Amino acid sequence: MKEFFPTLYGNHALRQQIGEKILQGRFSHAFLIQGAEGTGKQTLARAIAAALSCQALHDENQPLPCGCCPACRRILAANTPDLILVGNDGAATIGIEAVRRIKEDMFLSPTEFDRKVYIIEDADTMTPAAQNALLIMLESPPDNVTILLLCRNASAMLPTVRSRVQILRTELFTPSALSDFVLSRTPSARTMQSEDPDRFYDLIAAAGGSPGIALDLFTTEDGAAVLAARKTVLSLLQALHPKVGVPVLYEAVTALPQKRAELLSALQLFLLAVRDLILLKKDEQVPLCFFGRREAALALCDTFGMRNLLSVGAAILETATQVEQNANLALVFTSLSDALFSARIK
């Protein structure tokens, strides 16, 4: 059986679905590819562009795209005028001018291959005017044009746009699949798994099922920063034990980030940890969001009652709301300390 999209990890059903449509000449002129950060949207889009022009399309002994023919090499390297990448270039939105440039270009014949492919990244940041301008192109593009819209949240797109494209969704990985992926791509990860399994599984948990984020955490300094943030959250959780002194609790609260954006991120991470503990009270096999190792989560869970956890969660949520509303941070830390002290003795 012909292999489809070998460079894209996971997403087996999606790869098969798209590959068969291309092989049978039934691939639509416009798709919306939705997925979380790092789940392979860009990889898939470029692979689709290459597959549409791959010279080994009907060679059962070659994958699709083959990655070896001139078309694949040039398209995958984005080294052809027949692959047009459109993004927000660091701006908050994609405006109507970008769409107008696409419209002017798409009626020109392809330069090197039989098809032109437009990849619009962060399509959910397009302004309403830009999306409306795109509608005409989605309704009646030239026969040799394919438009691929990439986004995190398809619901942010206008209903009229969504109704004119086919929606594809990339998948998050399970912790097990993500571990296998990282071990296959980063030699240092296997050493870490053996010598420091807590660190390894904490990074896997922090990636949230995203292979792209996981690779960054294991290969860049981002991993150390993420682990430091998780340590701060875990220290605060441990300080909530009824037998821990009030000074320790106060110290753990004041160890939270002092800058508003970083504090809000830490509080959101804390809520994930509390969410895990609450759900573990009901089902010890529930999928975890914060904890990398289930045994550690269960051990910590046993030190809390359900009422304590619900009160802690409510206190953190209220604090996050205050931070978002630009409350005085000194007062925020004081009220959080009081609320957590009250929550732990309930």
* pLDDT tens for each residue of 126-146: 999 999 999 988 988 888 999
234 and 146 part of one domain: no
For 116, list phi and psi in degrees, rounded to 5: -110, 135
Q: What is the pLDDT of residue 243?
A: 81
Name the residue type at position 21: K
123 and 264 part of one domain: no
Q: Tell me, rounded to whole angstroms, the distance of Cα 185 from its chain centroid.
A: 18
Whether the pLDDT of residue 217 is over 90: the answer is: yes
187 and 240 part of one domain: no
323 touches 263 (CB < 8 A): yes
- Can you spell out the DSSP letters for 95-125? -HHHHHHHHHHHTSPPSSSS-EEEEETTGGG
139 and 216 part of one domain: no
157 and 192 part of one domain: no
55 and 160 part of one domain: yes
CA angle, 300 as apex, 294 and 302 as ends, to 5°?
Answer: 105
CA distance 64 to 72: 10
Residue 26 Cα distances to 18, 30, 52, 311, angstroms: 9, 12, 11, 55
Give the confidence band of 161 by pLDDT, cuts at 50, 70, 90: very high
Task: List all residues 6 or more positions away from 139 whose beta carbon is below 8 Å from its beta carbon.
Answer: 164
215 and 232 part of one domain: no
Residue 4 lies in a domain: no
Whether the pLDDT of residue 346 is over 80: the answer is: no
Residue 136 lies in a domain: yes
184 and 247 part of one domain: no
Lowest mean per-residue pLDDT among 154-163, 241-250, 253-262: 241-250
Residue 130 lies in a domain: yes
Bridge pairing between strands 30-34 and 166-169: parallel
Name the residue type at position 78: A
Residue 6 lies in a domain: no
CA 279, 282, 287, 292 torsion-angle sign:
positive
Give kind and range of the element (H or E) at residue 46.
helix 41-53
CA distance 44 to 150: 10
Name the residue type at position 261: A
73 and 135 part of one domain: yes
CA distance 127 to 262: 28
Whether the pLDDT of residue 7 is over 70: the answer is: yes
HSE-up (13 A, CA, CB side) for residue 215: 11
Average pLDDT in the chain: 92
User: Which residues span the domain enclosing 207?
Assistant: 173-220
- For residue 93, the domain's CATH number is 3.40.50.300
DSSP bridge partners of 85: 119
81 and 162 part of one domain: yes
Express each pLDDT in 283-318 by its tens digit: 999 999 999 999 999 999 998 999 999 999 999 999
Q: What is the pLDDT of residue 311?
A: 93
233 and 314 part of one domain: yes
Residue 284 lies in a domain: yes
16 and 165 part of one domain: yes
* Overall domain count for the chain: 3
